[in-house]
Amino acid sequence: MGSQVKFDCKNETCLIDEDILVRVNENYGILGWRASNYTAYWGKTYNEGRSSRLGTIHSKEKILRMTPISQVLVSGTIPRTFDARLKWPNIISKPKDQGWCGASWVFSTVSVVSDRFAIMTNGKDQTFLSPQQLLSCSRNQRGCKGGQLTRAWTFIRKYGLVSESCYPWTSSISECKIRRLKNQLTAQCPTYISDITSGKLHRVGPVYRIAGELGIMHEILYSGPVQGIILNDFS
């Protein structure tokens, strides 16, 4: 760790614990991987990471109101291994850094939508959509302090999202810079943020839910990325 300050992680859990790093890496031969220190997390507590690196607010009632999709699946039709990067090479988007903003509800939704557009168009539309627009313009959410997935999907269905290049990510909540219009095909980009003058609005159809491991695997195999929520872990 060089000359970095060592934090006391006994009284308050740290995101990066030097002692754990050492113990993990001592067992590299058994585990087959090494743990690393990520500078952005150094000196941050677990509670800071939980509030600023997560952010999805669960609503069991709203999730269960989503249209359920039932599938009749035959055991053995799902391969033992699957890598989306191999099935859809150069199409699946790379992980994005949300910064110290509790916007996992934004990034997971936008990533799924962007990847599915790319898959449906066979790579012709590989637009990564704007997390900032969803963060700043989706009403009745908590911005960097959290948000609900159902409301995020409803916003995209009604108003659509422009590209990230049109409305770039700033890692903070700010006033919405794009008008919410239901019937528009394009929207004016914030001129002081982007050099692009306008962007195409991407919308989605009704959201649905799938239960069961086989059903989820089948969905990923044939349709692309999904969002996962543990329904029995609500407070």
Angle at 130 between CA 126 and CA 132, to 5 degrees: 160
Distance, in Å, from the CA atom of 165 to the CA atom of 229, rounded to the nearest integer, reads 29
Please give the residue that has the higher pLDDT: either 66 or 167.
Answer: 167
Which of 207, 227, 222 shows the shortest CA–CA distance to 68?
207
Query: Any idea of the CA torsion for 188, 101, 110, 91, to the nearest 10 degrees?
Result: 110
Distance of CA 92 to the CA centre of its chain: 13
Which of 142, 132, 144, 153 shows the shortest CA–CA distance to 199?
132
Distance, in Å, from the CA atom of 109 to the CA atom of 54, rounded to the nearest integer, reads 13
Res 235: pLDDT: 38
Give residue for tokens 């990325």. 225
Read off the pTM.
0.83
With contact defined as beta carbons under 8 Å apart, do 164 and 129 qualify?
Answer: yes
Structure confidence by residue, pLDDT tens digits, 67-84:
777 776 766 778 989 999
Res 4: pLDDT: 53
Give residue for tokens 């999907």. 153
Cβ neighbours of residue 27 closer than 8 Å, sequence gap 6 or more:
none
Q: Which tokens sit at 176?
A: 């919405």
Buried b / exposed e over 70-84, threshold 16 CB at 10 Å, is eeeeeeeeeeeeeee
Which stretches does DSSP call E strand in the chain? 67-68, 186-188, 198-200, 208-209
Q: Which of 64-78, 96-110, 111-125 has the lowest mean pLDDT?
A: 64-78
- pLDDT-above-90 percentage for the chain: 46
The model's confidence at residue 234, banded by pLDDT at 50, 70 and 90, is very low
Query: What are the structural domains of the chain?
Result: 1-53 (no CATH), 60-223 (3.90.70.10)
